Amino acid sequence: MTTTDSTPPMDPTSSEATETQLAHASAQGEAYRRALDYMANDIAHDGGKRAAGDYIVAYAIEEAEGMYALEDGKLVWHNPGNSNAHVEVAIQDGADGRFVPALDVTATLVTPSGQELGPHRQEFVWHPMLYHYARNWEVPEDGEYTLRVHIEPAAFMRHDEINGRRYAEAVDVEFTSVKIKRGSEPVEPPA
């Protein structure tokens, strides 16, 4: 995983949070970072991260996988079908490392032969270990891709007159040499 040390610090003169509260937020971020590193380094085929705007943007590439979706008030299992790659994007607060929810995240893949796929919206995915934005993709070949991630300005409310002035700009980040090996896990859910 590619890492960067250019994390912007949170202003310690917060108007809403005490030093103890900011320490708790940083501890949450550290726990999330450890889970993300485990996902990207030990589970995924490829992964990386870098600072971008007010965020740290990370990715992990896995085989396409089945998931539940709520349809007409019931959970329905969906196998990956023709999808053959699963692109995960994790967005961390650049100051404390916590996962940033409720973002509009899109991704574009550029194939080794130069074909552009997307952009496609990366949906929020609840995962037992790691919240992230993800989508199954159908890609035409194995190899090294370019992954472009776009994050719209956050629409959610922000506390803190000092530290709340964040996430107001669109952010674009590009990862090159992203290794994708096609595959899928059409696992049926337990009965």
In order of their start, the domains of the chain are 19-185 (2.60.40.2480)
Give the angle subtended at the CA of 77 by the CAs of 183 and 109, to the nearest 5°.
40
Q: Round to whole Å and give the CA distance between 89 and 45.
A: 14
Q: Which residues contact 109 (CB under 8 A, 6 or more apart)?
A: 87, 116, 117, 118, 137, 139, 145, 146, 147, 148, 178, 180
For residue range 13-45, list pLDDT tens digits in order: 678 888 898 899 999 999 999 999 999 999 999
* 3 state SS of 39: helix
Flag whether the pTM goes above 0.85: yes
Q: Is the pLDDT of residue 141 over 50?
A: yes
Residue 138 tokens read as 């159908």
